[in-house]
Every structure is written in structure tokens, then in C-alpha cells.
């Protein structure tokens, strides 16, 4: 088991303590002692997550412990994630994906789809974005989408001649693609998209969401795909053997069982509004079926990333504790004095940069959305509609990240060691500028055209 801290990192850890201690001593923005301890602990944990000077499990457990002691929030709120359907969904997604791998269906899928069209690395990156869009219609949740697609890419690349660095970049493209393509449709991300509407106190139909988001997100997807290829151009030199298109696919009994179970799971996901069974329970049913069919076994539980589950528990608790402890209210009151006049040309750009900045501090999408959307709706009442604030917040945070912990989808791949911090930072810095540009010059002009503003 990895060490909690390395001896050579002790000086860095001591330096990292200075900032939270300063917060506790100063008690900024009118915080109480307990609130200052909570905020200081949060900043300290973010520093540890970002720098890696403390083992991330230890950092996450420390934050949860401090939230329980000083957060003034019911313990079920602190442990919101492990008590939610998302916890079951993540675990079940790992096992379903492993079942696909065990059955060799992933190998055949890669042979007949990826090898047919993706005869070089750049085409494989482009396919990440195309499949990111296409799979929305069959798997309305990014967790199982990226886990399944990543396993397919791993199978496709395992016998190729590309080096480890290029493999990391190619698998990374799957996760980058998901962060933007999930915004095209309301069911693209059943957690953040629906949560954002809930935090804003508004409702939006599937068609309304598509009208407002599909075209600008498609344009942004093209921009991000091009940026990814340019940023990692030096690593995208690989070529792959083209598939004989006349060859026909055939399946053995175990593969047919896996395909049938997957088909039923997907069908139940698509018809959730009819039968009312949650996506998590559907995934659980699929796992049980794979156990019965002996496609997966007890040994396959090792694919579940415990470290990631601990991290997600800490990450999902942040928004709950900031709200429950009253820190979010203090933050709202503090920000009021800094807003430019609604008539100012900098009014909306200020809000965009503020959303992005606070998201970088808070970390998770859910945290940022749960705190920022209600706060901004209150601060901009009479000037901007709740619908505009919800969509502005979503597009300002969902495809902008600099470190893995800034986006849960990116964290899933990072937690599985598919790629490293440096890969995320390399594209993340570019995404900062892309986010500001596309929100100001793609999304907002479109929203004016369709009457949102």
C-alpha cells in the first residue's frame, strides 16, 4: 500500500499548512471559527490533491473527518455519495464493463468498428468524440460510457506498436470528449444536467435543452477536438492495421449472453421514464445477470477502484457542507460588493470568470453547481433569468478543468491511472481560453438568437 506521505515531502506539507492556518486566524468574510476550520481544511485538501504531496486517499479521508467534526452538517449529507444511487452506478459500471471485457465482446467491437475506420491515432481521437455523442443515446450517464469506451480502447491498443505515452493520450481523449459531448442533450449527463436545473429551480424539456445547447455544443466539440489534436500532435503518430470490411462478425455463446444482457440494460436505461427503475438499479440488475451467466465472478471485484470511491465521497460532500455550514451564504454576501453594474460590458464576462475561478477552488462540478447557481440567481435577480444562469454556469464549468479533481469524469480515468496530471494540465490550460471564448462568442450569441436572453 502506498505511503500516506513521503519523507521528502514533509517540508512541503508544513508549508501547505500555512494557508489554512491563516484562514483560521483571520476568519475571512465574516466566518466563525468552525466555518474557518472547514474552509481552511478544504483549501488544504485541494492543495494536497493538486500537488500529490499527500496520498490522495489520506487527503480525502482527512477532509471528510474535518467536515464531520466541524461542518455543522448532518452526517448523511457528508456521506451523500455512498448513500446515493450514483455510488451503486459507479460500482456496477465497473463490473458491467469488466463483463464486456471478459466476454471478449470489446475485442470484437474494436475489430469491426475501430479497426475499420481508425487506421491512425488522429482518427482514433476523432472517434472518441463521435462515440461520445453516439453513446449518449444508449447510455445516458457518463460514468458507464467512459468506463466502457476506455476498456474498448485498451483492448484495441493492447497489441498495437504505439508506446505507453501515446496510449495514455488516446485513452485520455475518451474522457475529454465526454466532458463536452455530455452537454448536447439533457440525458447526456443525468447527474449534472438535471442537478443544475434543480439547483436553479427551473424545468426544461428534452427538446428545449436540445434547442438551447445542441448547436453551440457541437461547435465547441469541434473546437475542443481540434485543440486536443494540436496540443498532443507529437504523440499522435501511430498507425493501425485496417480491417478487412468483407469479414463477418460472429459470436460465441458467452459473447451472445453478454450482448443480450448489455442490450437489456441499455433498453431499460432508454425506457427509464416508462418503467421507473433507476439507472443504478438497472445496472445492478445487469451485474446480477452477468454473475448468474458466469460472465463475471468474485475475482472481478478487484476492478472496482476503492481510491476513486473515497475521493468521490469527499468531493460530493463539499457542496453539502459549504451550504449546511453557512459558508455559502457568507460567500454570497461577500461577492455582492464586487459585481459590476448590470449595464457594464463586463457584467457577464465577470460572472463567467467568477464561475470558472470558484469552480477551480471548489473542485467538483456538483459542488460548484450546488453553490454557484442559487447564489448567482439571487445576485442577478431582475437582470438575468434563472434559465440563463443555469446554462451559463453549466457551460462555464463542465468542460473546463486544470487538474483531475476539477471534473469527476476526468478523475475516473486519472484514478484508474490511464493518464497523468500533466496530461490534464496540458489541455486544461488551453480549455480555460476555449471556455471563455465559446461561452462569449458561441453560446451567448446562440441564446440571444433563440430568445433565452
Q: What is the pTM of this model?
A: 0.76
CB 31 within 8 A of CB 25: no
Whole-angstrom Cα Rg for the chain: 22
Q: Are residues 149 and 135 in contact, defined by beta-carbon separation less than 8 angstroms?
A: yes
Say if residues 450 and 211 touch (Cβ distance below 8 Å): yes
> Could you give the CA distance from residue 373 to residue 368 in angstroms, rounded to a whole number?
8
DSSP conformational letter for 243: P
Question: Are the CB atoms for 114 and 124 separated by under 8 Å?
Answer: yes
Q: Are 178 and 310 in contact (CB under 8 A)?
A: no
3-state secondary structure of 201: coil
Q: Based on the number of CB atoms within 10 Å of its own CB, is 281 exposed (0-12), middle (13-18) or buried (19 or more)?
A: middle
Question: Quick one: which of 323, 371, 316 has its CA closest to 73?
Answer: 323
Instruction: Give the separation between CA 131 and CA 146, rounded to whole angstroms.
Output: 10
The three-class DSSP label of residue 120 is: strand
The per-residue pLDDT string of the chain (453 residues; one tens digit each, 9 = 90 and over) reads: 445 667 778 888 899 999 999 999 999 989 999 999 999 998 898 888 877 788 888 999 999 999 999 999 999 999 988 998 878 888 887 788 788 778 877 667 666 777 778 878 999 999 999 988 988 876 656 877 888 888 888 888 887 788 899 999 999 999 999 999 999 988 788 778 887 888 888 888 878 899 999 999 999 999 999 999 999 999 998 777 665 555 666 677 778 888 888 888 878 876 777 888 887 888 899 999 999 998 899 988 888 888 878 988 887 788 788 889 998 888 878 887 788 888 899 999 999 999 999 888 777 787 788 778 888 888 888 899 999 999 999 999 999 999 888 888 998 898 888 999 999 999 999 999 999 999 999 999 999 999 888
Supply 45's cell numbers: 485538501
Amino acid at each position: 500500500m502506498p505511503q500516506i506521505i513521503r519523507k521528502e515531502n514533509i517540508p512541503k506539507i508544513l508549508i501547505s499548512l500555512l494557508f489554512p492556518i491563516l484562514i483560521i486566524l483571520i476568519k475571512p468574510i465574516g466566518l466563525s471559527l468552525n466555518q474557518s476550520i472547514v474552509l481552511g481544511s478544504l483549501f488544504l485538501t485541494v492543495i494536497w490533491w493538486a500537488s500529490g504531496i499527500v496520498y490522495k486517499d489520506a487527503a480525502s479521508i482527512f477532509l471528510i473527518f474535518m467536515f464531520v467534526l466541524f461542518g455543522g452538517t448532518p452526517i448523511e449529507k457528508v456521506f451523500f455519495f455512498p448513500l446515493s444511487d450514483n455510488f451503486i452506478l459507479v460500482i456496477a459500471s465497473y463490473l458491467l464493463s469488466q463483463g464486456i471485457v471478459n466476454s471478449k465482446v470489446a475485442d470484437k467491437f474494436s475489430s469491426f468498428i475501430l479497426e475499420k475506420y481508425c487506421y491512425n491515432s488522429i482518427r482514433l481521437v476523432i472517434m472518441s468524440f463521435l462515440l461520445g455523442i453516439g453513446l449518449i443515446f444508449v447510455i445516458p450517464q457518463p460514468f458507464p460510457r467512459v468506463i466502457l469506451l476506455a476498456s474498448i480502447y485498451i483492448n484495441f491498443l493492447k497489441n498495437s506498436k504505439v508506446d505507453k505515452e501515446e496510449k495514455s493520450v488516446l485513452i485520455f481523449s475518451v474522457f475529454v470528449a465526454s466532458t463536452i459531448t455530455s452537454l448536447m442533450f439533457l440525458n447526456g449527463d443525468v447527474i449534472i444536467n438535471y442537478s443544475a436545473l434543480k439547483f436553479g429551480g427551473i424545468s426544461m424539456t428534452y427538446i428545449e435543452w436540445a434547442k438551447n445547447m445542441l448547436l453551440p455544443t457541437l461547435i465547441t466539440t469541434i473546437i475542443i477536438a481540434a485543440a486536443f489534436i494540436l496540443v498532443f500532435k507529437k504523440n499522435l503518430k501511430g498507425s493501425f492495421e485496417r480491417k478487412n470490411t468483407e469479414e463477418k462478425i460472429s459470436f460465441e455463446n458467452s459473447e451472445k449472453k453478454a450482448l443480450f444482457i448489455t442490450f437489456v440494460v441499455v433498453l431499460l436505461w432508454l425506457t427509464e421514464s416508462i418503467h421507473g427503475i433507476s439507472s443504478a438499479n438497472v445496472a445492478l440488475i445487469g451485474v446480477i445477470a452477468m454473475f448468474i451467466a458466469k460472465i463475471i465472478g468474485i475475482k472481478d471485484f478487484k476492478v472496482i477502484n476503492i481510491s476513486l470511491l473515497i475521493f468521490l465521497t469527499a468531493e460530493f460532500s463539499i457542496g453539502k457542507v459549504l451550504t449546511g455550514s453557512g459558508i455559502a451564504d457568507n460567500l454570497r454576501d461577500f461577492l455582492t460588493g464586487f459585481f459590476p453594474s448590470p449595464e457594464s460590458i463586463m457584467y457577464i464576462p465577470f460572472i463567467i470568470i467568477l464561475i470558472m475561478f470558484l469552480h477551480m477552488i471548489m473542485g467538483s462540478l456538483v459542488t460548484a453547481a450546488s453553490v454557484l447557481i442559487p447564489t448567482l440567481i439571487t445576485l442577478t435577480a431582475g437582470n438575468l433569468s434563472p434559465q440563463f444562469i443555469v446554462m451559463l454556469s453549466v457551460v462555464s464549468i463542465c468542460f473546463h478543468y486544470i487538474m483531475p479533481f476539477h471534473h469527476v469524469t476526468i478523475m475516473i480515468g486519472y484514478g484508474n491511472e490511464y493518464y497523468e496530471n500533466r496530461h490534464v494540465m496540458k489541455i486544461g490550460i488551453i480549455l480555460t481560453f476555449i471556455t471563455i471564448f465559446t461561452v462569449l462568442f458561441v453560446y451567448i450569441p446562440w441564446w440571444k438568437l433563440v430568445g433565452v436572453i
